[in-house]
Amino acid sequence: MNKLGTDRITAAFTQAQQKQTAALMPYFTLGYPDAETSLDIIEAIAPYSDLLELGVPFSDPLADGPTVQHSTQVSLENGTTTASCLAMVRELRQRGVQTPVMLMGYVNPILAYGQDKYVQDAVAAGVDGFIVPDLPPEEADEFDEKTAAAGLSLIPFLAPTSNPDRIQMVGAAARGFIYLVSVTGVTGARSQVRTDLAGFVERVRGETAVPLAVGFGISNPQQAAEVGQVADGVIVGSALINAVNAAEDKVEAAVQFVKSLQDSLQK
């Protein structure tokens, strides 16, 4: 890893922008359906991904819908820990995966692990940034300072219900990108994209220069393409896990699904 994490994240969005497309960021749970299969899936989809959001399982994943909840529960039952997730990222780097990696996890395991040690070990493993859904910006100063000092990004969230003051605050402080939640509610594939998404993106874009990535509810290539028309990045999780669950050859199913999303963004 020659560049620091935030620089690598920014470069991924810049490269996508130069290709006149949105950056694709698939989400997948580390350790699901087992550790080796998750590594094989992530390694296989990396060439078709601009960034990777990798889930650290937690017993009470408040932001996640049934699909991701199930995957995290299975992963926990397999014995996945915060330490083993960091080891899996290290293994992916050793396998040659160069795609920027965002670790998505909740704040309790980070506090239990120790914030300094978590950031230090994440840097050593090859992590580029963190997504922590239950750590609001108002309470994130300590962890944000530690990640910034290490050259990594702590990614903030904004929702359609965010007021102008909050949008301005988050927009001014963000590094890497801002995660825009397309709907109020939990993660999960949905039948249609929110109709006023473009307006939400524009409101946030007026307050920041960092890229804006949209997640929650994007379930197929057509929806990914719609979101990619207005946002700088597209995040897809539950639909990828559903595709893996339905297939006998789970690695091939993941590759075909992610390729279909990437192809939709290129058009």
Active site residues: 53, 64
If we measure between CA atoms, which residue out of 261, 190, 240 comes closest to residue 29? Answer: 240
If we measure between CA atoms, which residue out of 41, 112, 34, 36 comes closest to residue 75? Answer: 34
What one-character DSSP code corresponds to residue 47? G
**27-57 burial, b for 16+ CB within 10 Å, e for fewer?**
bbbbbbbebeebbebbbbbbebbbbbbbbbb
- Helices (H) and strands (E) counted in the chain, each on its own, are 12, 9
Instruction: Give me the half-sphere count of Cα atoms (radius 13 Å) on the Cβ side of residue 163.
Output: 1
Question: Between β-strands 233-236 and 178-181, what pairing exists: parallel, antiparallel or unpaired?
Answer: unpaired
Q: Which amino acid is at 164?
A: P
Distances in Å between the Cα of 265 and the Cα atoms of 177, 225, 232 are 19, 5, 11
Altogether, the residues listed in the chain come to a count of 267
DSSP annotation string for 143-210: HHHHHHHTT-EEE-EE-TT--HHHHHHHHHH--S-EEEESSSS-----SS--TTHHHHHHHHHTT-SS
Alpha-carbon distance of 162 to 164, in angstroms, equals: 7
